[in-house]
Amino acid sequence: MSIRRDFTTGIRWSLLGSVFAAVVALVQLLVMARLLSSTDFALFALVNLVLPLFMQLIQSSLHSAIIHHQSVTAAQLTSLFWLNLLGGLALALLMALAGPLMAWLFRAPALSGLYAFSGLILAVLGASVTSRALLQKALDFSRLALAQALASLLSFGLAVWLALAGFGAYVLPAALLARYTVEGISIVLLSPFRPALQFRAAGLRPFLRFGGFQSGERLVSHAVGQLDTVLVGKFLGMEALGIYDLMKRVLIRPSNLLSELVERVAFPTMARIQHRQGILRRFYLKMIGQLLPINYWAYGLGFALAPLLSGWLFGPQGAPYTGLFRLICLYAMLNSITNPLDSLLAAIGRIGHWMYISLAYLPVLALAIWLGLPFGISGTVAAILLAHLALVGFSFASALAPLLKMPAKAYFGALARPAVHVAPLVLAGTLLLEWAKGPYALIAAVVTALAFAGLFIMLYPDVFSVIKIRRPGKRKALW
């Protein structure tokens, strides 16, 4: 198969599995919002200060190294499997040890048990990450999609049962544990890789070096991603954190899922063409040219419909937070710009570059949040927006321009074009929803949604081509 055909086939299967899993996850989250309390979500948000970081360390360090290096021997794979397995067990132990400290720091005794229980997820991930990396490297996303869909469905059923049974904050990590256990077993069974009972350190240095930089980048990126949770919980209280975390998880998750879906296929594809700079540059521009319109228009519609959606999605507790809802929609738009950059840098073996960018951004973000805290949760999110806008410019100047020779006009044109297209429609939809009251609000929302969908299809027909394979010669190449 050609790179083009491999990529589009991988996207098709990745889309199938990810969309199914995303729909199940969204429904699960909305159901949990009505079965669990805001305190349960706040406790799990504090678990997520550490858990996602440890999960990323397992899923991205040596996992990414296997994908980046195009030649890997069977002996190296076996040794990397045992390293991943031991790493998962070690991180599970660290998670359990961190529980009492976090319980003391946030004066929440329940965190001690939640941290220990959540550590089981890490042990499960460590056993399947090597098989997962090999399937992803081969762009064999049909098997990955099957495992993902089955695991999502079973974890949703378990989450509902546990919530109704009154397990409280333990419901969310238990659902994750069930998902990754079922998914991991399925992936190991579907993968042809079988580890041997041997370990050889020789030849692992390039993998460990790459994995070390990847782990450092994940540590810094996690600190950046969780800084707002720490400061909001510490200075604005658990109730504010519960509302903020719930809105952030529901609104930003679709954008992150879309980015993960594309990057899951784009990362191994870009690794194959990492030494062909011109082709890689055009590939990246084409990729963000298809990702950004989807994000801008989806969140632009969310911005316009915020008075209705905040109440519909989050119940009575969300209705007073229309302004916060809109700010998080804007943040999701900006976040979608920088999301794919780490995969690009990992593909060309320069992931350390993103680590240094994130290190420089961390104090800027901390200062912005600190200045926004006196103005409440909405003021804090507004400050985060401004800081992230600065990150967009800095990441271009320090990474894309020097490493990929990316022209500023081409890059910022790709960022601005969908924003210019959607802005008038967002303004019109917002004014219409502010004017329409009572039963007319629903009519106005339907009219606005249809207008967004119709114009999007007219302006961006190429977006849909990524999931449809046509005969050669009937369309332009992606690069």
Average pLDDT per block of 10 residues along the chain, 479 residues long: 67 78 84 86 87 83 81 87 92 94 89 94 92 84 86 91 91 93 90 88 85 82 85 85 82 83 85 88 91 94 91 69 92 94 90 90 95 93 95 96 94 95 95 85 92 93 59 36
d(CA 252, CA 369): 18
Structure-token match 């077993």, residue found: 185
CB-CB neighbours of 196 under 10 Å: 12
195 contacts 81 by C-beta, under 8 angstroms = yes
What region does 199 belong to: left with phi over 0, alpha with psi -120 to 50, or beta?
A: beta
- Joined tokens for residue 199: 């370990």
Apex 351 CA angle, 348 and 354, nearest 5? 125
CA dihedral (142, 145, 146, 148) in degrees, to 10, reads 160
pLDDT of residue 368: 96
371 contacts 228 by C-beta, under 8 angstroms = no
Helices within 305-321 (DSSP H only) = 306-314
Residues 6+ apart with CB under 8 A from 474: none
pLDDT of residue 7: 72
- Joined tokens for residue 293: 């319109």
d(CA 172, CA 162): 9
pLDDT of residue 217: 82
d(CA 240, CA 245): 8
d(CA 191, CA 72): 16
* Measured distance between the N- and C-terminal CA atoms of the chain, rounded to whole angstroms: 16
pLDDT of residue 86: 93
